[in-house]
């Protein structure tokens, strides 16, 4: 037997960097965009929520004032009368403040709603103009 037959075989390895495969999403569908009507509905819904919350706060303040007045009635007549007048004034003050806040918020939201509707009408006119222009280009 020959010595070459028992000679060790040396193999060398070259270190390679790991390979990364990047996948990209290819889509033919456009991004979801809200229509002008849906955007206006969302704006008006938010405005309604804000106005409703302000009204509920005013109602709660009125109820608290009413409870204070009822508690005051249990004391002596003269003290109750003065306390009732005081609480009535306080209740009216809180009710007026809550009403003012609600009217302010309602006006603000109404303005935002009108602004959104105007913007939506402008976008609709713009889309209508683009469609007419595309039609002219296609037919002309």
Rounded to whole angstroms, the Cα distance separating 27 from 124 reads: 27
Rounded to whole angstroms, the Cα distance separating 4 from 140 reads: 87
The whole-number pLDDT of residue 25 equals 61
- Helix, strand, coil proportions of the chain in percent (round to 5)? 75, 0, 25
Higher pLDDT, residue 66 or 33: 66
Asked whether 114 and 40 are in contact (CB, 8 A), the reply is: no
Per-residue pLDDT band at 123 (split at 50, 70, 90): confident
Task: Provide the total of helices (H) and of strands (E) in the chain, helices listed first.
Answer: 2, 0
Classify residue 127 by burial, with Cβ atoms within 10 Å: 0-12, 13-18, 19+: exposed
Nearest one of 32, 39, 51, 34 to 117, comparing CA atoms? 39
Per-residue pLDDT band at 130 (split at 50, 70, 90): confident
Average pLDDT estimate for 45-68 = 87
**Structural domain boundaries of the chain?**
37-114
The whole-number pLDDT of residue 111 equals 83
């Amino acid at each position: 037997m020959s010595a070459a037959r028992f000679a060790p075989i040396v193999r060398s390895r070259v270190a390679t960097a790991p390979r990364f495969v990047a996948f990209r999403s290819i889509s033919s569908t456009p991004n979801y965009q809200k229509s002008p009507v849906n955007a206006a509905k969302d704006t008006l819904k938010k405005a309604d929520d804000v106005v409703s919350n302000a009204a509920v706060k005013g109602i709660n303040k009125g109820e608290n004032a009413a409870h204070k007045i009822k508690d005051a009635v249990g004391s002596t007549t003269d003290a109750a009368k003065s306390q009732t007048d005081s609480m009535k004034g306080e209740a009216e003050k809180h009710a007026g403040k809550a009403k003012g806040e609600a009217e302010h918020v309602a006006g603000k939201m109404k303005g935002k709603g009108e602004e959104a509707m105007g913007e939506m009408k402008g976008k609709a006119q713009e889309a209508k103009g683009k469609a007419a222009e595309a039609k002219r280009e296609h037919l002309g």
